[in-house]
Amino acid sequence: MATDDADRTSVFGARAVGKVSDAKALVITAAGQGAAAAFALNHDLVAQDIERAVENSNPSSRTPQHVPQRAS
């Protein structure tokens, strides 16, 4: 399976670790790689959330929303 230096695959959120990425990995090594992958995936998701929040906080990037007016 092809991965980058951070064990990322071509599918967002999917990482290859353990026996998939290293056929010689022992169980403890695979477990450690799994924990590192979970930490890295959490980092990617938080970075994505921050990027979206920044985009949504920029008034020029927002799509104008129709706000209904109350009848008086």
Is 39 within the bounds of a domain?
yes
pLDDT tens readout for residues 37-71: 889 889 989 999 999 999 888 766 556 566 666 66
Please indicate, yes or no, if residue 50 is contained in any of the structural domains.
Answer: yes
3-17 burial, b for 16+ CB within 10 Å, e for fewer? eeeebbeeeeeebbb
CB 1 within 8 A of CB 20: yes
**Counted domains in the chain:** 1
pLDDT tens readout for residues 8-48: 788 877 787 766 667 777 888 888 888 888 898 899 899 99
Please, what is the Cα angle at 15 between 11 and 21, to 5 degrees? Answer: 120
Assigned domain for 64 exists = no
Which residue segment(s) compose the domain that 16 sits in? Answer: 1-59
